[in-house]
Amino acid sequence: PEESRAVIIIFGGSGDLASRKLYPALFNLYRRGVLAEHFAVIGTARRPWTDDHYHEVVENAVAGDDVDRDQAKAFAQHFFYQSHDVTDADHYITLKNLAAKLDDQYVTGGNRIFYMAMAPDFFETIASHLKSEHLLTERGFNRLIIEKPFGHDYASAKELNDSLTATFDDDQIFRIDHYLGKEMIQNLLAFRFDNAIFEGVWNKDYIDNIQITLSEAVGVEERAGYYEKAGALRDMVQNHVMQVLSYLTMPKPKTFTANDILTAKDQVFAALKPYDLATAKENFVRAQYASAEVDGDQVLGYRQEEGVAADSQTATFVAGKIMLDMPQWEGVPVYIRTGKRLTRKSTQLTLTFEPVTSPLFNRETGSQPDSLTIYIEPSEGYSLQLNGKALGTGFNIEPDELRYRHDPEAAAAAPEAYERLINNVLEGDQTNFTHWSELSASWRFIDAIQAAWSQETEMPTYPAATMGPQAAFDLLARDGRQWFWQP
C-alpha cells in the first residue's frame, strides 16, 4: 500500500477507546505499511503523562502473541503526549506548535487529522478552539474524526453539526459509526448487488418482512453515566440500526463512490414513515432488564446497577416496526430489536420471503416461507432456509438450510472496523461514515418515539438473559408474524 502522511491529534488519548481500539488499529495500519515513516500521533488528555509513559501505554495497547516487540517499540516512538485541558485556549497554541514541529520532523506534508475521542460534551468546545487558535493547516489536508454519540436529539445534533461546520467543510468531517466498518456490513453491497438470484427479488413483491436484531448479552457495565442519558434507542437504534436498515433497503447505487452510496441511502432515510405520539406507542416497545439467575449467578437488574437511578426511565431494550415510504418497500415492515442482557450477543438480519401462492403447498404440508439470514457478528456468514421434500415415501415438506460462514480464523485476521475506518480517513474516503442528512432524518424519527415514551410512567421489564418483554413478541404476532431468531 501507499504510505500515508499525517500528524494525528487524538483528544482523549488516555481514554478507553484510544487504548482498546485506536492504538491497535493504528498499529495494524503500521504493520501493513499504510503508516510508515511519515506520521506522528499526539495524544492529549488531562493527565500529566510523560512521552515515555505514553509509549508504554501504546505498547501495552498493541501487545499480543503475534506482535513483534521491537516493531511495537518503533511504532510507539511516533507518539507524543501533550497534557491538555480542552477548555484552555493556551493549550491549543502549545498543541499547534507541537504539531508544526512534528510536521517538519516527520515530513507529513501539512496533513492533520483531529480525532475527537472524549466525552461528547467537549466536541463543540474543541471544534471552536481548533478554529479560533488556527490549528487547521494551509498546506495539507485537515480532517476531523468524531465519535458517537452525535447529539442526543435532533436539536442538539444540529447544534453540534453547526459548530463543526463552522470550522470544517462537510467533506472534512468523518462521523464514526463503527458498524459501517464491519466486514459483513460492507459485504451487503456485494451480496445484494452482485447476486442475480437476490437482486431481482429484493423488494415488496417477494419479501414479506425484514428483521434486524442487535443483541448484547452484557449489562450496562461501567457506562451507566452515559447510558442513563442515552438508552437503547439513542445508543443503538438512531445510529447502528438505522445504518444497517439503509444498507439493507437502499436502491442500487449508480457507482460505489461515497456520493452515489449516500444518494442511495438518503432515499431510505427520507422514506422513514414518521410516527406521531399515538402510533409511536403502538409500534415501539421499550423495557428494562430485571434481575434474574443466569448460569447459576444472580445478575443485577438495571435499576440496581451502580450509577443507575432507582426509578430510572431509561430503556435497555427496544423493539419496533419501521415502515418505508418507497415504492419498492411499500407494505413491508422492518422489525428491529436491540438491547442489553439479552440471551446471546448477536447481530443478525433476516429477510423472509412471501410464501408461494399455490394450492400444491401450504403450512399443513410443512411448507414455510423461505428466509435469508445474514450474520454480522460474532459469526459472519449467511443462511438460506428453503423448502425441500423430507426423506421417505410420503411427500412432506421440511426446511433445509444452505449455510455459509467465514472461517473464524480468517475473519479474525481481517481488518477490524476501526482499522478500516481510519484507513478510509487517511485516503479521504467518506463512504463508510455518517452524513448529516442521514443523521438529521434518523434523529427526527427517533425524537417522535422518545417524545411518546416520555409521557409514559410505567417501565416494563424483562428478565435478564431473555429476548425482551412479551410486548416485543406481540408486536409481530399482531401482524401474524414472529421473530425468526428465537434463541
For the annotated binding site, the residues are 46, 85-86, 148, 178, 182, 216, 235, 340, 345
Residue 17 binds ligand NAD, judged by CB under 6 A: yes
Quick one: CA torsion of 467, 470, 476, 482, rounded to 10 degrees?
A: 50
Residue 45 binds ligand NAD, judged by CB under 6 A: yes
Residue 249 contacts residue 334 (beta carbons within 8 Å): yes
Residue 117 binds ligand NAD, judged by CB under 6 A: yes
User: Taking CB under 6 A as the criterion, which residues in 47-106 touch ligand NAD?
Assistant: 47, 84-86
Q: How far is the CB of 13 from ligand NAD (least distance, A)?
A: 6
Which residue of 3, 32, 33, 46 would you call a contact of ligand NAD, by CB under 6 A? Answer: 46
User: Taking CB under 6 A as the criterion, which residues in 119-138 touch ligand NAD?
Assistant: 119-120
Which phi and psi (to 5°) does residue 468 adopt?
A: 100, 180
What is the secondary structure of 229-283 as a DSSP string?
HHHHIIIIIIIIIHHHHHHHHPPPPSSSSHHHHHHHHHHHHHHB----HHHHHHH
Please count the residues of this chain forming the interface with ligand NAD, following the rule CB under 6 A. 21
CA angle 339, 329, 469 (to 5 degrees): 25
Q: Name the DSSP class of 21.
A: I
From 72, 86, 142, select the one nearest 117 (Cα to Cα). 86
Residue 192 binds ligand NAD, judged by CB under 6 A: no
Residue 423, exposed/middle/buried by CB under 10 A (0-12, 13-18, 19+)?
A: buried
Output 20 or 478, the one with its CB closest to ligand NAD.
Answer: 20
In Å, how far are 321, 341, 485 from 293, measured between CA atoms?
30, 12, 22
Q: Is the peptide bond preceding residue 274 cis, with omega within 30 degrees of 0?
A: no
Concerning whether 240 is annotated as a catalytic residue, the answer is: yes
Residue 147 binds ligand NAD, judged by CB under 6 A: yes
Q: How far is the CB of 81 from ligand NAD (least distance, A)?
A: 11
Which residue of 5, 6, 14, 99 would you call a contact of ligand NAD, by CB under 6 A? Answer: 14
**Among the candidate windows 13-21, 26-34, 98-106, 271-279, which touches ligand NAD by CB under 6 A?**
13-21
Residue 12 binds ligand NAD, judged by CB under 6 A: yes
Exposure on the CB side of residue 296, measured as CA atoms within 13 A:
0
Can you tell me whether residue 310 is helix, strand or coil? Answer: coil
Output 18 or 244, the one with its CB closest to ligand NAD.
Answer: 18
* Binding site as annotated, residues for NADP(+): 46, 85-86, 148
Interface ranges with ligand NAD (CB under 6 A): 12-18, 20, 45-47, 84-86, 117-120, 147-149
Q: Among all residues, which ones are annotated catalytic?
A: 240
